[in-house]
Chains A and B, each alone.
Chain A
Amino acid sequence: MVSTVERETGRGAAGQEPPGGPAPHRRRKLPAPYLLIAPALILLAVVLLWPIVQMVWYSLTDFTTRNLLPNQPGPAWNGFAHYRELLGDTEFWTILRNTVVVCAVMVGTTMVLGTLVGLLLHRLPTWFSGFVSVGMMLAWATPALSASLVFRWLFLPERGLVNVVLDRLPDRLVGDGWLEYNWFLEPLPLFTILITVIVWQSFPFVAVSVLAGLKSIPGELYEAAKMDGATAWKSFWSVTFPMLRPLFALLLILQIIWDLRVFTQLYILANSFQNKDVFLLSYYIYQQGFSATPADYGMGSAIAVVMTVLILAVTAYYLRIMIRQGETR
């Protein structure tokens, strides 16, 4: 559907019909499509597809760094031992639960805040919403690494601006002892900062997308809703939300997938692999593969399979939307 619209506008813009009516059907001699996709397909197969297959295989073996040494046998099949171990491992369940909860809070906050800001921008005059958008672009564009470092600096014990300001506020409002407070040791404060960084970086995308969606809704629908005496709350749920449903679904899926994989921010904020209480799935995978002694590639791959299954479940829903919109045609 989308592609036909684009094609039509394209034709309108070019404004040229070939002289003498529609062109006669003549097959141009172009290389076969398979030749055109071959380089991309081969690269993707070698670099990304094959490792997915390998990941599943490794998760069923006792693969560790020892197997990489010269003159050592390859990894041996050990069935579902890693998965059985994971099932009975309370540490793993805590990390899985934390990952799901932290991701849900990130996604929920990002979606609600982004939508509210999108609605706000829609009601502001163009010059002012442009001004706010430029500000939001700065948050969106900041590399994950820079963002994490700034937030670590903002929440630093003794000198971080947030700690200093909380310390200066009256004690009966916020309590005392904030100056030395370390946010980076316990799961709850650390995850709070992690969520703040992620939301700070992701809400602009949601807001700008929602704003673009709002501009596509005909104003008459709101006038009709107003005539029926609908409040802003009601007209959002009866007009805006149904009209933008596909957009919201897509944004939701993208946010879930992006937030499940968070690594860089946690790497900087936690700043070590000592404290398993603050691990998330991607962090756990990396720790198993590259920080544990000896590095346990088999176990790391088993955790990676769990994470990939989570992501593929969400991707299936994404594909359904894409197929419905005719994007795969």
Chain B
Amino acid sequence: MTATRPARRRSTARRLRSLPLYLAGLAVFLFSVFPVYWMVATAFKPVGEIFTRDQTLLPQAPTLEHFDRVVNGELIPGVNFWQFLANSLVVTVGAVAMGAVLSLLAAVAVARFRFRLRTAFVILLMVIQMVPMEAMIISIFINFRHLSEATGTQLLGNLSGLLVVYTAVSLPITVLMLRGFVEAVPKELEEAAAIDGAGSWTVFWRILMPLVAPGLVAASIFAFITAWNEFIVALTFLGRSTDSYTLPLTLSYYFGRFGTEWGPIMAASTLLTLPVMAFFLFVQRRMVSGLTMGAVKG
């Protein structure tokens, strides 16, 4: 009845026309979220609601018993959850820290210097990044057996071998990601500092580092997720040394032993997933640009 009426009607009509789009979006959302929801929901259900044909969408009597069993009980006889968590943290954090140093050095070399083997090095990184662990698993295992014998150290059956492999695996992509960030730092800035008498170490810490830091964080999180989720190398390297198991391996072992205990399995899966999700939401944008490397920016 007022003058604004037709306009409002038009917008309602437009909204109705885009309703299918919203519904499709909602369907995509539900398809993506549902398995995650089901994992968490099952983790909170008492045993009686899991061992039944009458599966309900919501836990009727939510319980923490499965989480309690995972965290305070013994997933593998003689070893508890905290040990596995510590193992996972040691290899992932260790690999990320070593990888950050190595890849930063290499990225500076590739981005700032022209040298003869530069292109060869970049191509090497791109190829290595593609050759899958799954194909190399036998020769990597034998290689580490030989390395253990040659150096007189034990690289299999404990975390040290894993630490080395995880550091190497993420290197190619982190070097390639960091290279872009180093290139983006204007050379003039470094040169100006050098003219003011700053040594190359000072230039590195005071000029380059602060500007490359976001890239380093993104690359590190990427390396963290890769190492945190890694399965096949841990499976081959750790064998029966259950003391050294990482979380994914523990979960798979538990599933192999107690395959019908879906409550604890889903609770442990949830705990395995949480840190990755937190990091993922944080690093999301960089992840896309890092992996497609420039194809979008064209």
Spell out A's residues near B (CB within 8 Å). 2-3, 5-7, 9-11, 14, 16-19, 22-24, 26, 28-30, 32-34, 36-37, 39-41, 43-44, 46-52, 54-55, 58, 68, 117, 120-121, 123-124, 128-129, 131-132, 134-147, 149-151, 153-154, 156, 158-159, 161, 164, 167, 179, 200, 204-205, 208-209, 212-213, 216, 246-247, 249-251, 254, 257, 260-261, 263-264, 267-268, 271, 282, 285-286, 288-290, 297, 300-301, 304, 307-308, 311-312, 314-315, 318-319, 321-322, 325, 327-329
Contact = CB atoms under 8 A, between A and B. Distances in A.
B195 A18 contact: yes
B203 A28 contact: yes
Nearest to B105: A36
Contacts of B126: 315, 318-319, 322, 328
Interface string B95-116: 0000001110110111011010
Given A5-B297, A40-B103, A328 B119 contact: yes
A55 B135 contact: yes
B58 interface: no
B277 A208 contact: no
Most buried by B among A28, A48, A179: A48
A128 to B, nearest CB: 6
Given A141-B273, A286-B232, A48 B131 contact: yes
Closest 5 CB pairs of A and B: A36-B109, A282-B134, A141-B280, A261-B132, A33-B113
B140 interface: yes
A135 B123 contact: no
Given A39-B105, A282-B135, A213 B266 contact: no
Given A36-B113, A249-B295, A271-B259, 12 more contacts: A28-B203, A37-B106, A51-B136, A141-B281, A145-B272, A208-B284, A212-B288, A212-B296, A268-B252, A286-B232, A319-B123, A327-B293
B39 interface: yes
Contacts, number: 355
Interface stretch (B20-28, B59-67, B68-76, B77-85): B20-28
B229 A145 contact: yes
B130 A159 contact: no
B91 interface: no
Interface string B40-54: 001000000011111
Given A2-B294, A319-B123, A329-B119, A48 B128 contact: yes
B223 to A, nearest CB: 13
28 contacts: A10-B185, A14-B186, A16-B192, A19-B192, A40-B102, A44-B128, A51-B139, A68-B142, A120-B21, A120-B28, A123-B21, A132-B28, A135-B32, A136-B29, A141-B280, A144-B229, A145-B229, A147-B35, A150-B35, A153-B39, A161-B55, A164-B55, A212-B289, A213-B296, A246-B295, A261-B134, A267-B252, A285-B138
A327 B294 contact: yes
B194 A28 contact: yes
A5 B289 CA distance: 15
A134 B284 CA distance: 10
Contacts of A264: 231-232, 248
Contacts of B55: 159, 161, 164
A137 B108 CA distance: 32
B127 interface: yes
B209 interface: no
A205 B147 CA distance: 38
A51 B147 CA distance: 12
Contacts of B228: 143
A143 B25 contact: no
Contacts of A301: 138-139
B132 A268 contact: no
B192 A297 contact: no
A244 B189 CA distance: 35
B205 interface: no
Contact of B186 (A11, A158, A304): A11
Given A14-B189, A159-B55, A250 B184 contact: no
Given A161-B38, A301-B139, A315-B130, A247 B280 contact: no
B119 A117 contact: no
Given A6-B180, A37-B105, A146-B39, A159 B53 contact: yes
B29 to A, nearest CB: 4
A300 B272 CA distance: 31
A308 B134 CA distance: 10
B211 to A, nearest CB: 8
A5 B296 CA distance: 13
A166 B260 CA distance: 21
Contacts of A10: 183-186
Nearest to A272: B256
Contacts of B101: 39
Contacts of B251: 145-146, 149
Given A128-B25, A325-B295, A142 B276 contact: yes
A147 B296 CA distance: 29
Contacts of B103: 40
Nearest to A196: B35
A321 B295 CA distance: 9
